[in-house]
Structure formats: C-alpha cells, structure tokens
A = this chain, B = another copy of it.
Amino acid sequence: MRRVLITNDDGVKSKGIGALIEMMRPYADITVVAPFEAQSGMSAALTIGKPLRLTELKSEDGLKIYACSGTPADCVKMAMNQVFHEKAPDLLLSGINHGSNASIASLYSGTLGAAAEGTVYGIPSIGFSLTSHDPNADFSASVHYGKMIVDKYMESPPGADIYLNVNFPAVPIEKIKGIRFSHQGKGQWIKEFEERKDPYGFNYYWMTGEFYSLEGDDTLADHNLVAKNYISIVPHKIDTTDYDELKRLEKLWQFKI
C-alpha cells in the first residue's frame, strides 16, 4: 500500500476525515479529495448541469488535501481524473462518517456512495462510520480498529465489485466487544418531515425522521450488532441484480409480442 485516497460526506474540515488521515499517515502517501461542505444523504449522486471546482488546500510531503464543490462520488471521479490520472490509488477510505450508516442508511449514505464509486474504478474501498453525530466525537477506538481492518483488507482482499461498510459503536475502546461480519439490516425512516410556516404563510418541510427497525432485536443485522457494541462489517455489491428473482420472473412472465 503506497497511495491512499481519502474522502467523506461531512466535508473536508470535519473531524472524521482528520481521524482517517491520522490512521493512515504513518503508512502511506495520502491524497484527500473531499467536499467543501457537508454532503450527507447524497448517496451516489453526481453533479450534472452545473460545473465543479477543485481547490488545493494543502500540499506537503506525503499529504495533499483538495476540496471539491461536488458530492462524495464527484470527489472520487475528480480525484481519479484530475489528481491520480493513470496511477490509481491502492486504497480508498471514506469517512469516518459522523453518524451510523448501518441498515437502510447505506442506501442514502454519501460516505458509501464514494466507496461504491471507488469500487466501480476497481479501487479497494471501505466506508467507515461512527454512530454519533457529535462534531467532536471521539474517534480513537475507530482509528485503532479501523487500522486493524485495513490491514486485514490488504492481507486478504475481498472479491472484486465489493465495498465494505464498517460501522463503529460510539463507545470507549474498552467497551467494544468485537468485530463481526453482518448483513444490511432491514429498516426504514418514519415521520420524516417537520412542517413549518414561513413568515409569508407558506409551508416548508425539514427532513428529520427516526429510524424504525424491521428486524427482531436478536438478529445479526448490522444495526443490531452495533447497538450491542460490536463493530460491524457488511460487504456490499455494486451489481444489485437479484439473480434468483430474475430466473423466477423469466419463467413466470410470458409476453406475447
């Protein structure tokens, strides 16, 4: 491992990105390309129809930091096209997100949108998240165990077209019970909007909402494991085809054309 690309969705100045720099700085040359501003909930969105900017913020031996005006996935594309050019990085780390990306959050997560984009480029990619929205959250346990996970990754890499979604419980290091592989838990957001009236009498809506689990408390779903102070690792696929359903529908649906 020589070159590591770091990005996130909380923005280039967030504490979580500093945690990843701290984690990898002793071992690799680091290039950060991260959003100017928070881009939470951006999924794998791309910026189409308006131009992007890329600004170099820092350039010192082994550490370059760029801010990009776009989404997390834009940041990865920008890094590959304008910074790395032909020589791809050996690893992409996204995060450490301020807030859980377990369960259905993985669908909306910009942190994981960037990891998915890295995987499309063939770069080994991991998204890291901590289950705390506190801007000053304590990332020390995440940095410790995150490095352990990166080492395993480089030693015995997962298959192609996979990115890892790692979620850390927000507890002190001595309370972490272990590291477990897991699946994307079933769940959804409910009560999603807070309705207000503007000074002119018109309604507007803030997205808020609360997470509602559709798993029993005792399943090995990622959000359940994290709630029990385990670090969860879910391998996610880029190809989201349901091959079993494909075969079933192929027989079931006969079209007369």
B-binding residues in A (CB < 8 A):
38, 40-49, 51-54, 71, 73-74, 77-78, 81-82, 104, 106-108, 110, 113, 116, 120-121, 148, 152, 156, 158-159, 162, 176, 178-179, 181-184, 186, 188-189, 191-193, 195-196, 202-207, 233-243, 245-246, 248-250, 252-253, 255, 257
Contact = CB atoms under 8 A, between A and B. Distances in A.
B246 A234 contact: yes
A73 B238 CA distance: 20
Contacts of A104: 120, 238
A116 B121 contact: no
A230 B218 CA distance: 46
6 contacts: A40-B49, A159-B245, A162-B242, A162-B245, A184-B241, A235-B249
Given A43-B113, A48-B40, A253-B156, A120 B148 contact: no
B246 A182 contact: yes
Contact of A46 (B106, B108, B159, B178): B108
A245 B186 contact: no
Contacts of A48: 40-41, 207
A239 B49 contact: no
Contacts of A148: 255
